[in-house]
C-alpha cells in the first residue's frame, strides 16, 4: 500500500514546493550617503534618469537632480528630518506627475497634487508629468480675444488677451496679489477656469486668498496649488510646473484657463537654495546659470491653441517682487524679456492712496489693442498718451509757474481721469460701465465735478448704464464698433446723468 501511495505523495510535495518557492524580484536599490536641508546624497544607482522620481524607505519622495558616476544629488520633496543616513532608496522609473481633471476644481493641493484641504481624496481623470514640452509654433493661434479683469486701468490701457503672459511687478505690499485675485474673481461669467499657485507665501496670506475665493464663489472654478514658505524648497520649485500641467489639461480640452504664479521671485530663490546645496556653480547674485531657463520653459507653455487642437488657451499672470523699485534687477529683467508685457505697481502711487497703484506710463502690453473690444479703441485709444502728458504737465505745474486757461483745463481733466481710474478691491466694472465712465471723463463731462463727488457721479453713471442702456451694452459686449452717432448719443445721455447728479448733490 505504501509503495503505491508514496510516489504520488512525493510528486505532490515537489509540485507544491515549486509553487511556494521564493520568487526573485529584480530591483535597483541605493542607499542614503548624507542628508541635508532640502537635499540628499545617495549612492548605488547606475541607470537613474534625470528628474526621475525616487522613494526613500521612510516614504519621502525625491527628484534626481545631480547625476554622477559615484553619487547622485536628490532634491527632497518632503521633510528631510524623516530621512536617515544609510536607509534604502528605490527607483520608480517615472517622472513626477500630478492628477488632472475637473475633480481638482474647488480643491487646495500641494506641489505633488495631494489634497491639503478637508475635501477627502481626489478622484482624478488621469495623471500627467509636471514637465511637458511647450506647444509648437504651428500649434499656436494668434491672441485675439480679451481677458477682462474688471479693472479699468488694465482693460482700457494695458489690455490682456487669452493666451498672453503678462507680468505683474512691484515692491512688496503694493497690491500685486490683489490685482491677480481680482482678475480671477472677474471670470464668474466668462467661462474661464483659474489656477492659483502660491509659492513661498506665508500660510496666513494664502488663507486670505482662499477665503476670498470661497466667499465670492470663485473657488468652485479654481484650483489652488500651495507650496508655502514652510514647505521644502523642492516642493516650492515643482509647484508652478504642477499648476501649469493642471491648467494645460483644461486648455487641451478647449477651455480657457487663467494661471497666477504668486510669486516667481520666491520660486527663483528656492531654486537658488537647492542649486547651492547641490554644489552647482553660482552665477550672478548666486543664482545658477539656468535660472532663466526654468522660467522660460514654464511660461512658454502659456498660449492660445489653434482651432484644430480645440482652441483652448492658457493665460499666465506671473508675479515678481522688486526691491526699492529696482526693476532692472536680475530676476525682473529675465521675466520681462520672457513675458508679453508688464503691469508695474508703484510704491509712490500706493503711498498717495491711488489704488490700484498701477503706473500706466511704466506698464505695457505687447499685445495691445489687438485684443480690445472696438468700443475701447473708440473711447480710450489715446488714454495712455493723454495720461502720460498729463503727468508730465502736472510735474511742471508744481513749480508754481503761472498757468494759462488751456493748461488749467488739461490739468483738471487729467485729475478727473485719474479719479475715475481709481478702484477698490473686488469692485469689478463690466465692459459697458467702463466705457461709459471713461467716456464721461475723457469728454470733459466730469471737469466741473468736485473731486470728492466723482465717486457718486461714477456710481450714477453705472446705474444708468445698467437700467437704461441695455441695447447699447449688448452691442458693446458683442464686439460691435460704435459709430460717431452712437458716441454722441451716449455722451448726451451721460451729460444728463452728470447734470442730474450735480443738481441732486447741490440740493
Residue 489: Cβ within 10 Å count: 14
Question: What are the backbone dihedrals phi and psi of residue 193, each rounded to the nearest 5 degrees, phi first?
Answer: -85, 160
Where does residue 93 fall: left (phi above 0), alpha (psi -120 to 50 degrees), or beta otherwise?
left
Buried b (16+ CB within 10 A) or exposed e, 4-38: eeeeeeeeeeeeeeeeeeeeeeeeeebebeebeeb
421-449 burial string, b = 16+ CB within 10 Å, else e? bbbeeeebbbbbbbbbbbbbbbbebbeeb
In 147-269, which ranges are E strands?
167-171, 193-199, 222-227, 256-262
Q: Give the C-alpha separation, 150 to 179, whole Å.
A: 10
For residue 498, give the C-alpha cell: 452728470
Dig out the grid coordinates for 260 from the structure. 497666477
β-sheet bridge partners, residue 459: none
Beta strands per DSSP E along 296-439: 313-322, 341-345, 364-365
Are the CB atoms for 276 and 291 separated by under 8 Å? no
Is 384 annotated as catalytic? no
Sequence-ordered list of residues with C-beta below 8 angstroms from that of 310, at least 6 positions apart, any chain: 251, 252, 253, 254
Nearest to 236 by CA among 283, 272, 288: 272
Query: What is the spatial distance between Cα 356 and Cα 296, in angstroms, rounded to a whole number?
Result: 28
Angle formed at CA 293 by CA 291 and CA 298, multiple of 5 degrees: 110
Report long-range pairs for 290-296 (Cβ below 8 Å, ≥24 apart).
Answer: 291/330, 291/331, 291/334, 292/334, 292/338, 294/267, 294/268, 295/264, 295/267, 295/268, 295/334, 295/335, 295/338, 296/338
33 vs 50, 62, 219, 460, CA distance in Å? Answer: 19, 14, 44, 71
Which residues are 198's β-sheet partners?
226, 262
Query: How far are the Cα atoms of 27, 72, 228, 368, 406 from residue 46, in angstroms, in the given order?
Result: 12, 10, 34, 52, 79
Could you give the C-alpha distances from 105 to 190, 198, 279, 364, in angstroms and in order?
A: 16, 16, 39, 32
Per annotation, catalytic residue among 127, 202, 284, 366: 366
C-alpha cell at 57: 524607505
d(CA 429, CA 173): 24
Active site residues: 366
Amino acid at each position: 500500500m505504501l509503495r503505491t501511495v508514496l510516489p504520488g505523495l512525493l510528486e505532490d510535495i515537489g509540485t507544491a514546493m515549486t509553487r511556494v518557492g521564493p520568487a526573485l524580484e529584480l530591483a535597483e536599490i541605493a542607499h542614503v550617503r548624507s542628508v541635508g536641508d532640502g537635499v540628499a546624497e545617495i549612492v548605488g544607482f547606475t541607470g537613474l534618469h534625470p528628474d526621475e522620481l525616487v522613494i526613500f524607505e521612510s516614504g519621502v519622495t525625491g527628484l534626481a537632480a545631480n547625476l554622477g558616476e559615484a553619487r547622485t544629488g536628490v532634491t527632497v520633496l518632503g521633510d528631510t528630518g524623516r530621512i536617515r543616513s544609510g536607509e534604502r532608496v528605490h527607483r520608480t522609473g517615472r517622472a513626477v506627475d500630478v492628477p488632472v481633471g475637473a475633480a481638482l476644481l474647488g480643491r487646495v493641493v500641494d506641489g505633488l497634487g495631494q489634497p491639503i484641504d478637508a475635501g477627502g481624496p481626489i478622484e482624478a481623470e488621469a495623471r500627467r508629468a509636471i514637465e511637458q514640452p511647450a506647444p509648437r509654433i504651428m500649434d499656436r493661434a494668434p491672441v485675439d480675444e480679451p481677458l477682462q479683469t474688471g479693472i479699468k486701468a488694465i482693460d482700457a490701457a494695458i489690455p490682456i488677451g487669452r493666451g498672453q503672459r503678462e507680468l505683474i511687478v512691484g515692491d512688496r505690499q503694493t497690491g500685486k496679489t490683489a490685482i491677480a485675485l481680482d482678475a480671477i474673481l472677474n471670470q464668474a461669467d466668462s467661462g474661464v477656469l483659474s489656477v492659483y499657485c502660491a509659492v513661498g507665501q506665508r500660510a496666513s496670506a494664502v488663507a486670505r486668498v482662499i477665503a476670498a475665493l470661497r466667499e465670492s464663489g470663485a473657488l468652485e472654478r479654481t484650483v489652488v496649488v500651495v507650496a508655502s514658505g514652510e514647505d521644502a524648497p523642492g516642493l516650492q520649485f515643482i509647484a508652478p510646473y504642477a499648476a501649469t500641467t493642471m491648467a494645460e489639461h483644461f486648455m487641451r480640452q478647449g477651455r480657457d484657463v487663467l494661471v497666477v504664479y504668486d510669486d516667481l521671485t520666491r520660486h527663483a530663490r528656492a531654486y537658488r537654495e537647492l542649486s547651492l546645496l547641490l554644489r552647482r556653480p553660482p552665477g550672478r547674485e548666486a543664482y545658477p546659470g539656468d535660472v532663466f531657463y526654468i522660467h522660460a520653459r514654464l511660461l512658454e507653455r502659456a498660449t492660445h491653441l489653434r482651432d484644430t487642437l480645440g482652441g483652448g488657451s492658457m493665460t499666465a499672470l506671473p508675479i515678481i517682487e522688486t526691491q526699492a523699485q529696482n526693476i532692472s534687477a536680475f530676476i525682473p529683467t529675465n521675466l520681462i524679456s520672457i513675458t508679453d508685457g508688464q503691469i508695474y505697481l508703484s510704491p509712490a502711487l500706493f503711498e498717495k492712496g491711488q489704488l490700484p497703484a498701477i503706473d500706466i506710463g511704466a506698464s505695457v502690453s505687447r499685445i495691445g489693442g489687438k485684443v480690445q473690444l472696438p468700443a475701447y479703441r473708440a473711447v480710450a485709444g489715446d488714454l495712455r498718451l493723454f495720461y502720460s502728458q498729463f503727468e508730465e504737465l502736472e510735474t511742471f505745474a508744481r513749480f508754481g509757474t503761472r498757468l494759462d486757461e488751456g493748461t488749467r483745463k488739461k490739468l483738471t481733466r487729467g485729475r478727473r481721469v485719474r479719479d475715475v481710474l481709481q478702484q477698490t478691491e473686488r469692485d469689478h466694472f463690466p465692459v459697458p460701465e467702463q466705457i461709459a465712465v471713461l467716456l464721461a471723463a475723457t469728454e470733459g463731462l466730469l471737469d466741473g465735478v468736485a473731486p470728492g463727488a466723482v465717486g457718486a457721479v461714477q456710481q450714477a453713471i453705472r446705474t444708468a448704464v445698467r437700467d437704461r442702456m441695455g441695447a447699447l451694452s449688448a452691442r458693446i459686449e458683442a464686439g460691435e464698433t460704435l459709430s460717431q452717432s452712437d458716441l454722441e448719443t451716449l455722451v448726451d445721455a451721460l451729460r444728463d446723468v452728470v447734470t442730474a447728479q450735480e443738481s441732486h448733490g447741490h440740493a
